[in-house]
Amino acid sequence: MSKTTRRPEGWVIDQRIIGTICISREGKKFTDLVGYTPCINTLTVNSDVKSKTWQPEPPAGYWSRTRGNHCEWVKIIELCWYKNSRANPFHVLEGLKEYWDDPARTNKGWEAPDGIYWICGKKAYSELPKKWKGSCTLGIIRPFFFTLPRTESKLLGAPLFEILNRQKRELKRELPMAGGNQKWKEEEWPAERIIKYYGPSTWANDGSWGYWTPIYLLNRLIRLQAVVEVVSNHTSEALELLVKQHSQMRAFVYQNRLALDYLLAEEGGVCDKYNESECCMEIDDYGETIKGLAAEIKKVAHVPVQKWNSILQASWWDQIFGQGAWWKKLVFFISCSIARIIFLPCLIPCFIRLIRSVVQGMQIA
């Protein structure tokens, strides 16, 4: 379980919950109010009357991961239920025994175990103050959104875009490997760069939730799009290499056949030597066809690189004025300003006349 994120002021919870087991502390000795969580079973401590009672009744037992002789094993959740109404309900959590044995202590703060928080009303705390007051239970909280550190992105159950670091065999000729070593210009944003730059901020820290949210599905689609393009490019390059190799082998076979016919010319060539009726050799050349299919694969799978441009750098602006015609843009703005100055005096009387007619019509009505 991951480490609990520390925040002294606590985390605000979106909705109130009803706990199963709580600890409640009241009395003049406890001064720091943290909140109240309703629970089915509550261990109530009152410093004024020095009492410690369960309300309405103590829990019937506790869960444990260890399978003993006197427990009921539940196979689905792989936990064992021990029936003991006097035992610590959080027996399996280390560090909580001292709190349950002496819930009125005020010598130090109540620190929650790793990955768990004290939930008190609408707030969750990683550590309760020494003199806390209220009713709290233990639980796990999951924020809707937070930034995931890049160093932890590879630990997720389903990474956004990963590179398989396989051991490369020594080859005379290697295809360019696709991965994270591409260099893009500042305004170019292909699918790989988008998910590498913005993807980590959409994941939960432990990878246990959010896998079926729209953001997750969108990231998976973008990743699939990028992977399909990479695989298609590699497939096309492999086909082109096979075509090249096939052309070389075709020429080599013809050369060998010519050499054999030359050596066996006195005996009538290869055909007369082995008495073969169908001796004509023809190797079809489909190299150009395969190259065309490979080019089509690249064309279909190619995803155009998105480029960020400001409104003044947009293509429609350049189509109107042309590339580099800055003086045309300046003339355009000056012409618009002059037209506004010319037509504005004509429009103002029209608006005044319109307003007067509307007012007069309302008075007559």
Residue 178 covered by a domain: no
Residue 177 covered by a domain: no
Q: Which amino acid is at 50?
A: K
Give the total number of structural domains in the chain: 3
pLDDT score, position 205: 41
Tokens describing residue 318: 């350049």
The string over 41-64, giving b where at least 16 C-beta atoms fall within 10 Å of a residue's C-beta and e elsewhere, is bbbbbbbeeeeeeeeeebbebbee
Partnered with residue 209 across adjacent β-strands are: none
pLDDT score, position 175: 37
Residue 179 covered by a domain: no
Residues 96 and 213 in one domain: no
* CATH code for the domain in which residue 240 is found: 1.10.287.210
Q: Are 114 and 5 in contact (CB under 8 A)?
A: no
Residues 232 and 328 in one domain: no
Q: Which residue has the tokens 């959590």?
A: 93
Q: Who's near 203: CB < 8 A, 6+ residues apart?
A: 148, 153, 156, 160, 210
Partnered with residue 52 across adjacent β-strands are: 45
- Digit-by-digit pLDDT tens for the chain (365 residues) are 344 455 556 778 877 788 888 899 999 889 899 999 998 888 899 988 888 888 888 888 877 777 877 788 887 767 788 887 777 777 667 677 778 778 888 888 888 887 788 899 888 888 899 899 999 988 887 765 444 444 444 434 444 344 433 434 433 333 333 344 456 666 666 666 665 665 554 444 444 444 445 566 666 777 777 788 888 888 888 888 888 888 888 888 888 888 887 887 777 777 777 666 666 777 777 888 888 888 888 888 777 766 665 555 555 555 555 555 667 777 778 888 888 888 888 888 888 888 888 888 776 65
pLDDT score, position 47: 86
Question: Would the pTM count as exceeding 0.75?
Answer: no
pLDDT score, position 210: 46
Residue 1 covered by a domain: no
DSSP designation for 319: H
Measure the CA–CA gap between 332 and 337, rounded to whole angstroms. 9
pLDDT score, position 150: 46
Q: Who's near 164: CB < 8 A, 6+ residues apart?
A: none
Residues 271 and 330 in one domain: no
DSSP characters over 171-188: -SS-PPPPSTT----TTE
pLDDT score, position 120: 92
Q: Of 86, 21, 18, 96, whose CA–CA distance to 55 is shortest? A: 21
Residues in the chain: 365
Residue 107 covered by a domain: yes
Residues 221 and 354 in one domain: no
DSSP designation for 111: E
Distances (CA, A) of 6 to 137, 146, 152: 17, 15, 18
Backbone angles phi, psi at 229, to 5 degrees: -65, -40
Q: Who's near 56: CB < 8 A, 6+ residues apart?
A: 41
Residue 290 covered by a domain: yes
Measure the CA–CA gap between 133 and 46, rounded to whole angstroms. 10
Q: What is the CA radius of gyration of the chain?
A: 39
Tokens describing residue 292: 């065309």
The domain containing residue 127 runs over which residues?
A: 11-139
Q: Which amino acid is at 12?
A: V
Residue 196 covered by a domain: yes
